[in-house]
Amino acid sequence: MSDPVCVADYERLAESKLEPGVFGYYAGGAGDELALSGNVEAWCRLRLRPRVLVDVSAVSTETTVLGTLVSMPLLVAPTAIQRLAHPDGEPGMARAAAAAGTIMCLSTLATATAEEVAAAAPGAPRWFQLYVFRDRGVTRSFVDQAVAHDYGAIVLTVDAPRLGRRERDLRTGFRVPEEIVVPSMAALGGWEGATPLELLGAIDPSLTWADLEELRSLSSLPLVLKGIQTGEDAAIACEHGVDAIVVSNHGGRQLDAVASTAELLPEIVDAVAGRIEVYVDGGIRRGSDVVKALALGARAVLAGRAPLWGLACNGEAGARSVLELLQAEIELALALCGCTSPEAVTREHVAVPLS
Ligand SMILES: Cc1cc2nc3c(=O)[nH]c(=O)nc-3n(C[C@H](O)[C@H](O)[C@H](O)COP(=O)(O)O)c2cc1C
């Protein structure tokens, strides 16, 4: 294969490099994978409406998220067990994100500690994704680690009280190889060689809105809720003083019978009515997808699989290449839309198809 030039090329190359069980764990979704494919297809169905005769001799992709300057409106989504993709793992991903000038969100289910990841990219902004474990003492220790190592936000994932039915993993019999250590699980002991279902079994399914106050009290870090899929919940999140939300269906890995995130975004942006920042993830494969998300009211997007494919292909350098490729695509799409910055993108820059 020639050198990869787009995210789809990286995915094909990653598939040829990874063991089938690992590739299936990364690529797969729940059930019939309708939400997984729906996410990608929904961005494709939207059409940009470019404006012409705008001076685009200088275009910047820079923006801010929760007040932090980033090189582009695209952050690295939290994805578990990155050392399955490449020995560089999460520290490599952190260096790649830092080099690309954006934020990496570290998963609770990482194969490196919050401290190791911070040390890999000192000074770079980073966020910590939190799963609330049944053992609240362990949960508190995750937040303490995030605070101690200068993570800039807690991203609480709220769409996974139970694990979605990931049929690819069932078919391949995927288990985390014994030699891959997940430090957060190691704290609980006896989780080596677990299936994804066994890993997620540590999560507390009884979590409700009433628990948010206690979670907030654990640190002064901004709290972001990831996995909001209705205007109703977006409005409740605002009432609970949450700092931002991520419109997400977990990349189609949880409930399969849901709308794509591109379809959901307008409803949620309307419900939030400018009170907090709204991010979106799921199916982002092109810079033009990012511009479409901005046009529908998102402040930024998160990309999960795209940087993972880069990591799988060539470790830290591969993840960095994918992030730089996406930034170049965003810059070009902005210029060709007649926008000199992410802030210049408006609702009029996208058309929603009739069917
Ligand atoms: C392999 C894999 C592992 C993931 N692990 C986590 C996780 O640990 N925590 C979390 O909040 N989301 C997790 N996600 C969901 C991502 O954060 C994100 O919502 C999703 O990947 C976005 O869709 P995309 O992959 O199409 O960009 C994971 C996704 C994938 C593909």
| Spatial distance between the Cα atoms of 342 and 60, rounded to a whole number of angstroms | 8
Q: DSSP H helical segments within the chain, as ranges?
A: 7-17, 20-27, 34-45, 89-100, 114-120, 136-148, 167-172, 183-186, 196-200, 212-217, 231-239, 261-272, 287-295, 305-336
| Residues whose CB is less than 8 angstroms from the CB of residue 299 and which lie 6 or more positions away in sequence, other chains included | 63, 65, 73, 244, 277, 278, 279
Spatial distance between the Cα atoms of 348 and 351, rounded to a whole number of angstroms: 7
| DSSP notation for 61-99 | --EEETTEEESSSEEEPP-S-GGGT-TTHHHHHHHHHHH
- Beta carbon of 23 within 6 Å of any ligand 1 atom: no
pLDDT in tens, the chain (355 residues): 689 999 999 999 999 999 999 999 999 999 999 999 999 999 999 999 999 999 999 999 999 999 999 999 999 999 999 999 999 999 999 999 999 999 999 999 999 999 999 999 999 999 999 999 999 999 999 999 999 999 999 999 999 999 999 999 999 999 999 999 999 988 777 677 888 888 888 899 999 999 999 999 999 999 999 999 999 999 999 999 999 999 999 999 999 999 999 999 999 999 999 999 999 999 999 999 999 999 999 999 999 999 999 999 999 999 999 999 999 999 999 999 999 999 999 999 999 875 5
> Ligand 1 pocket, 129 CB below 6 A?
yes
Neighbours of 270 (CB within 10 A): 13
Please identify every residue annotated as catalytic: 250
Residue 229 CB less than 6 A away from ligand 1:
no
Structure tokens at 259: 């709308």
Q: What integer pLDDT is reported at residue 355 of this predicted model?
A: 56
Strand bridging mode 47-48 / 350-351:
antiparallel
pTM for the full predicted model: 0.98
- Residue 218 has a CB neighbour count (10 Å cut-off) of 18
Asked whether 61 and 318 are in contact (CB, 8 A), the reply is no
Can you say whether the dihedral through the CA atoms of 244, 137, 207, 184 is positive or negative?
positive
Cα–Cα nearest to 345, from 304, 275, 288: 288
Is residue 222 lining ligand 1, measured as CB closer than 6 Å?
no
- Calculate the dihedral angle through the C-alpha atoms of 82, 87, 93, 99, rounding to the nearest 10 degrees: -170
Residue with CA closest to ligand 1 atom 30: 79
| Mutate-to-test residue for ligand 1 from 250, 254, 256, 265, highest number of ligand atoms within 8 A of CB | 250
* Residue whose CA is at the smallest distance from ligand 1 atom 8: 80
- Of 12, 223, 34, nearest in space to 129 by CA: 223
Torsion of Cα atoms, 55 then 320 then 21 then 139, to 10°: -100
> Whose Cα sits closest to atom 28 in ligand 1?
79
Residues 6+ apart with CB under 8 A from 211: 132
| C-alpha–C-alpha distance, residues 228 and 264, integer Å | 9
Pairing type for strands 277-281 and 68-70 reads: unpaired
Distance from Cα 335 to the centre of ligand 1, integer Å: 30
